[in-house]
A = this chain, B = another copy of it.
Amino acid sequence: MASSTATQFSLSLSAKHAAPTTASKLPTRVSSLQKPNLVPPHFGLRCSHSQSVPLSKSRICASSAQVMDPVTSKNEPTIVDVDLGNRSYPIYIGSALLHKPELLQRHVHGKRVLVVTNNTVAPLYLDKVIDALTKGNPNVSVESVILPDGEQYKDMDTLMKVFDKAIESRLDRRSTFVALGGGVIGDMCGYAAASFLRGVNFIQIPTTVMAQVDSSVGGKTGINHRLGKNLIGAFYQPQCVLIDTDTLNTLPDRELASGFAEVIKYGLIRDAEFFEWQEKNMQALMARDPAALAYAIKRSCENKAEVVSLDEKESGMRATLNLGHTFGHAIETGVGYGQWLHGEAVAAGTVMAVDMSYRLGWIDDSIVKRVGDILKQAKLPTTPPEIMTVDMFKSVMAVDKKVADGLLRLILLKGPLGNCVFTGDYDRKALDDTLHAFCKS
């Protein structure tokens, strides 16, 4: 069963984080300098960002730091750097960041901004974002385009509305696009920014857990095709990601839980301690404990930033971030975009990937149980919808981006908790058995 071509990923973060082990030990404010003992130490490799030394592959890394400003230290954001040489950028994480215009404004290029958002988020935060972009900065003019909300609108027709608005507004190459919303808005705005005039600057302001812990970081942009998710797009990095955790106050419960599917993923593929922390703190997360949310977001961003820094274009390690996604994308495509939330489909897909890993003999049954338990704590589905058939799974999975020369590669768990492989070298029977176990036909 051992895979000769698989790449094993087991960069445990165990030695790098001081993770609180109970909810009561949570930092009350992750970004607070007043409680340094509760803030996990700096993550992983640290980089100096000297402009005089060219960055090379061997130096890319992710690091987190805090703004050290004695005057305004209260409520200062935590900063996680995505280190990609001259395309590096910061992720700002904290409360009330939309009330700090200087954070956004330092990343605006040119005098024209286009905010891309949707009809759910616009009434809540568009004015705040326009204020943050223009306060004390009268030279900047802001246009906005409000798209319909939902995965079913992540398509070429809706994308064209962004181009229409940008062109009608006579935006030029020195403009900046701002994505304000969840993963759909971030992916579409990013792809529009990558393509408009062959590329303009953009900024991510994610307002869902899903976008804050995953999709806004790392530069994957794109739209869906009726035959599959994210099949058209670009790798295109933002200037910064600004995560104002207060925006989660307006997030529906179902959307909140959906984001936790990606949080759980980081624990499973590379960060066992984080998974254990989640097992103890899922109730706090579901109850929207601000400190628990802030910690989960920060640690997720650190994981994502490190993986992206090491493998921007997904030649290997980055693919592991797609645990459960191949099954999950099949569900989203099969039931119709927008019926299941992305994280709900990923949750069911994760259970299927874990089931298959167990059938291959790569993990023991305690991991299977723990995955099921934590997803249930998060009120996430652990089986695909009943309408999914084996053939529907196989049909969509055949056009997955991880197919290479006709062979479907999957992310599967292997070894102790926190370890996974990305491989096409597995017993096809295990895949068949998993599909048949989860589908009625």
Contact = CB atoms under 8 A, between A and B. Distances in A.
Given A156-B156, A172-B404, A404-B172, A234 B167 contact: no
A53 B401 CA distance: 32
B233 A174 contact: no
Contacts of A163: 225, 231-232
Interface string A195-230: 111110000000000000000000011100101100
A39 interface: no
A225 B198 CA distance: 13
Contacts of A235: 198-199
Interface in A159-198: 160, 163-164, 167-168, 170, 172-174, 191, 194-198
Contacts of A111: 405-406
A399 interface: yes
A390 B163 CA distance: 26
A160 to B, nearest CB: 6
A174 B405 CA distance: 7
A220 B232 CA distance: 18
A168 B191 CA distance: 22
Interface of A: 54, 56, 110-112, 156, 160, 163-164, 167-168, 170, 172-174, 191, 194-199, 220-222, 225, 227-228, 231-235, 313, 398-399, 401, 403-406
14 contacts: A54-B56, A110-B404, A156-B156, A164-B225, A167-B399, A170-B406, A172-B403, A195-B222, A197-B401, A198-B220, A198-B221, A198-B234, A198-B235, A199-B234
